[in-house]
Amino acid sequence: MKKISDITIIDDDAITVFGLRKLISTSIECNSIESYANGKIALDALTNFFNNNQQIPQIIFLDINMPIMDGWEFLEAFIELPITNKIRINIVTSSIDPRDKQQWEHYKDKSHHLITFNQKPIDRNKITEITQLA
């Protein structure tokens, strides 16, 4: 398996972040795992990386319901960044609202990044599957 260099988790729930970190770090090899508590902080950080020609994480785990800037607003802004690399964005949610699935399809078609929609709970097999490079 090709080694993943950077992974980012965007979620406001501390326990979910902890769980994902633990699952990822025990399933695959990667350099670093960063986490941000909402879309705004994450977007600021990633935009900063981009402007300074720093490495953009190859895989992003994204929650939908977050304060200040939610997952969709983050996606809207993120896909506007002129990033040529194909990034894998895994949406992770416990929502069963069909409108969320429609939103996902909307963004999936709009962007060249790989965007997947995953419903909680996420187990070890699922993590390995969705942590492949895009």
Partner 1 sequence: MFKAQNSSSFSLDWINQIPSSIVIIDTDFKLISASPRWQANFELDLNDIEGKYFLDLFPDLSQDFISRLKYSLDGLRDIKFKYNAKDNQYSSKDSVWHLNPWKDGYGNIIGVIIKVEPISKTQEIEIELNRTKLILNQKSSVAKIGSWEFDVLKEELNWTPVVNKIYGLSAKFEPNLEDAISYYTEESREVITKAIFEAINSGIPWNEKAQLKREDGIIIWVNTIGRPKFKDGKCTRIIGTIQHIQNETKPNIEVKDNALIEYPLFEKVPFGLAIIDFSNGNFLDVNNEFAKLTSFEKEHFLGHNFKNFINDTVKNKSTELIDELNEQGCFKPVKFTYTNQKKHNINIKMSGTLVEGTSGIKRVLCTFENITSQTKLERNLKNTITSSREKNEQLLNFAHMVSHNLKTHATNFSLLLNFLNDEAGKIQRNKYMNMLFSASDNLSETIRGLREIVAVKSSINEEKKLLSLNDCLFVVEQNVAGLLKETNGKIINEIPETTQVKALPAYLNSILTNCITNSIKYRCDDKKPIIILSIEENKNYTILSVEDNGLGIDLEKYGNELFGLYKTFHQNKKSRGIGLYITKHQVDAMNGKITVESKPNEGTTFRFHFNKK
Q: What residue ranges bind partner 1 (CB under 8 A)?
A: 13-16, 18-19, 22, 37, 65, 67-68, 93-97, 120-121
**In the complex with partner 1, which residue's Cβ is closer, 16 or 103?**
16
Give the span between the Cα atoms of 123 and 89, in whole angstroms: 17
Cβ proximity to partner 1: between 27 and 65 the closer is 65
**Residue whose structure tokens are 């729930």:** 13
Nearest CB to partner 1, comparing residues 7 and 69? 69
Running DSSP on this structure, what letter comes out for residue 48? H
Please report how close the Cβ of residue 16 comes to partner 1 at its closest, in angstroms.
Answer: 6
- Tell me the closest approach of the beta carbon of residue 97 to partner 1, in angstroms: 4
Instruction: Please state, in angstroms and as integers, the Cα–Cα distance from residue 12 to each residue in 38, 45, 51, 54, 120, following that order.
Output: 6, 16, 25, 25, 15
DSSP state of 58: S
Shortest Cβ 59–partner 1 spacing (Å): 19
